[in-house]
Structure 1
Amino acid sequence: MGNLDLTFLNWDLISKFVVNGFWFSVQLTFIATIGGIIFGTILALMRLSGKAILAYPATFYVNGMRSIPLVMVILWFFLLVPAVVYSYLPNGANNRAEYSAIITFVAFEAAYFSEIMRAGIQSIARGQVYAGQALGMTYAQNMRLVILPQAFRNMLPVLLTQTIILFQDTSLVYAIGAYDLLKGFVTAGKIYGRPEEAYLLAAIVYFAVCYSLSYLVKRLQAKIAIIR
C-alpha cells in the first residue's frame, strides 16, 4: 500500500481513457433502464392479464432471467448470437461487444423491472379498477389512464434504486471487452503500470456516483412521502 501513487491519473489521461468509458456506462444504464421499464411493464401486464397464454410465457421469462447470473447472460449473448446479426447495426462489426451489452441488459433488466411494476400495479386499490370499469373503460384504457400513472409514482424510488444497481452492474461488460468505465481505468492502469491505483480509483468513482444518486433517491422518496 505504501507504493500507491494516485497522482498518476491526470486530466489528460482521464480524457483519453476514462471519459469514453464513463459515457458508455451512462448510455448503457439509460438505454437499459428505458428499455427494461418498457418491456418490464409489458411483461407485468401479461402476468396480470389472467390469460394463461400470456401469463405463463411471461412468468417463465421473468423467473428464468432472475435465476441466472448476469455475467452468464452477457457471455451467452456475446458468444452465441452470430456475428452477422451485429453487422446489420451501424458500425456493428467494430462494436459487437457494446451492442451485445445493450441487448443483454435490456433483456435482463426487463425481468427485474417487471417485478417492480407488477408490485406497483397490485398496490393500487382495486376500487379504482372497478371505478374505471364502471366508466366503460377497457382493460388497456384503465391501465394506461388510471393504474399505470399511479404505479409509476409509487414505484419511482424503487425504479431509481434498481437503476443505480444497474449502473454498478455495467462493470460486468468488461468480461466481453466492451469499453466501459472500468475498462477505461484498467486500460490506463496497464499502460502506465499502475493497475492497483486504477482499480482503486475506479472503485472511488463508482462509489461517488452511486452514493450521490442514492442520496437523491432518498430525498425524492421523502418528498413523495410528504405529499401523500
Structure 2
Amino acid sequence: MIEWGPESPGQNDEGLSASRGRHLDAVRSGGPRCHLAAMGATHEVTNQVPPLVGHDPVAGDAALAEACVRHADVATLDSLKALGALAGSEQAQEWGRLANEHPPCLRTHDRYGHRVDEVEFHPAWHDLLRTAVEHGLAGTPWRSPEPHAHVRRAVGYLGWTQVEMGHGCPVTMTYAAVPALRAAPSSRSGTSPASPRPPTSSASPSRPASAAWSPAWA
C-alpha cells in the first residue's frame, strides 16, 4: 500500500496547492515522497499435492508394463527406461507446460506485407517432437528389424504423451501414414520408408536389456 501525505481528493484548489508545496519542499529537502508498506504473505497453500516428478509413467504403470511384457518381452520394456525417466522429469513437464502456454501461431504475412504462411512453434514443441522421433515413436517401426517394434512404439507413445498430448497428433499421423502410402505407390513419391527388413526370428534369443535402441527411420 502506498501512503501519501495529507493531501486528499476533497481539498479545494488552495489547499491542494499548499499540500503540493509541502510535498515539493519535502522532496527538495531529501524527505521521502511516499511510504511503501511491506506486503506480507497472503496465505499458505496446504491442499495441493507436490509436483509429480521423478517417476516413470511407462514402467511405473503396472497395466502398461504388464501388457508390454505379455505382447513383447522384458527386453522391450527395458529399452524404454530412458524415455520413461525423461517423461517423468521436471524438464519434460516444463516442455509440456510451455507448449500449452504457447500454441502454434500462424503468420500469414511478414511485417512488409509479403505473404509467408508460416507457423511459428515455441522451442518446447520442437523438444517434445524431437524426443518422440529419437525414441522411435514416429515411423521407425515400419523399417525396424525388431520383432516387437510396433508394441514398443505403442507402449512408449502411451507413456511419453502423458507429458503433453498435442504433439502426439503429428507423431501419430507420421506413424499411421506409412501403410496408406504403401497402398498407393503412385502417390508415395519416395516419402514412405522402404519395405521393412525381415524381423528377427521369434525363436532367436532376445536382445540384452542393455541393448541400445537405434531408430532406422522417423
* Fold shared per TM-score above 0.5: no
Band of TM-score, shorter chain: under 0.3
Scaled by the length of structure 1, what TM-score is found?
0.22
Larger radius of gyration: 2
More helix per residue: 1 or 2? 1
Select the structure with the greater relative contact order (CA < 8 A; seq sep ≥ 6). 1
